Amino acid sequence: MSTSVLSDRSYTRREAVWAACNSLAAASEKPSVSKVRGYYKGGSDTDVQADIHAWYERLFSHHCAQAAGQGMPDEVAELMRQLWATATAAAQGHLAHEKSLLNQERAQLTQEHVQMVELVQEKQKHLEQVQGELAGQATSLAVSQERLQQALQMNDGLKAEQGVLVQRLEAMQQAIDERDRRHTEAMQLLSSQYQDSLANLNADHKSRLAEFEAAGVQNEQRYRGMERHMLQQIEEARAKSLHWEGEALSLRSRNQTEVDLVKRQLQNARSTIDASRGEINALKGQLTALNLQRDAMIKELALASVALSPALAVEEDGRQLDLLDAGGLEDGLKTTGNGDIGKIGQRETDPDGVGE
């Protein structure tokens, strides 16, 4: 029966509820909203309850008609009508109470539904906000990744430029070493030539000294004056030698200082290579300027070395050599030649003073 009630779409709501009540009555069960719902799902609980109440009225009217047809006394029929009115009033009161409860429940459900809708809307807004934030973060992440890729590419380029810069510095250092070697060889050649000249002068002095001794005491005063003059020239030559030696050492020191400066600048460039390409370009300019300055200083050093040679040469005037004393002139020339020129050669080959 319940299946036929649910599946028969020709029934109205009231007919379906009445059919469910008939099925329950046939099963000796009292019809109620919850039990009728087992047969019929449509309509609201209030409407179903009204249909159940109408079913009871129809059933009572049917029994009353049957009782009147059987010749029931009027008193009994009146009593039954009163009983039915009382039962109907009680049923209506119960129905009104259930309706009030249902209305309260409906209001509560409506409020809960509104709250749930508001909560869902709030969650939806929060979800949209979170999605927007995630989209912004994804965009920021993409931009950050792109910047990181660009930074890595720039770093590779700077490393390549650093390698080229290091190679240029090494080549420049090799060129400086080669120039130092040539300068040392030139100074050694100059010293050798000076030693040869000094040996020739000493040999010539000894040959002339025999002639000086024959002259005797007559030339002693003249010899003393010339000796003082010659010693003065030697001191002047020694002073000039020390001066040019100091100039050479100063130039060497400045050259080394500038090389150290270039090395420090290169180290700074290595530590700050990720900061800016402009600093590397500036360093290239500085290295070029230093290279030009170094070439100029090396040229000045070469000129100073050339100028040093005539300053240490001893005048070969035969008229003056005739008056020199053998022991004093030989000691003075040895002091000037072997001492000062040796020091100059040593300092040119060892400008940093490592040999000392």
Name every residue whose Cβ is closer than 8 Å to that of residue 24 and which is 6 or more positions away in sequence. Answer: 30, 31, 35, 36, 39
Buried b (16+ CB within 10 A) or exposed e, 298-312: beebeebbeebbeeb
Residue 352 has pLDDT above 70, yes or no: no
Residue 170 has pLDDT above 60, yes or no: yes
The CB density around residue 191, as the number of other CB atoms within 10 Å, is: 19
Determine the pLDDT at residue 204.
76
Mean pLDDT, residues 349-354? 48
**pLDDT > 70: percent of the chain:** 72
d(CA 20, CA 36) in angstroms, rounded, equals: 6
pLDDT digits (tens, 9 = 90+) for 270-280: 776 667 677 76
* Burial of 214 per CB tally in 10 Å (0-12, 13-18, 19+): exposed
Name every residue whose Cβ is closer than 8 Å to that of residue 313 and which is 6 or more positions away in sequence. Answer: 194, 197, 237
* Closest among 18, 19, 338 to 199, alpha carbons compared: 338
Name every residue whose Cβ is closer than 8 Å to that of residue 46 and which is 6 or more positions away in sequence. Answer: 99, 102
Lowest mean pLDDT among 9-18, 48-57, 217-226, 334-343: 334-343
The pTM score is 0.24
Determine the pLDDT at residue 315.
44
Query: For residue 157, what are the CA distances in angstroms to 153, 154, 160?
Result: 6, 5, 5
**Confidence category of residue 93, pLDDT binned at 50, 70, 90:** confident
**Six-digit token string for 226:** 């010339």
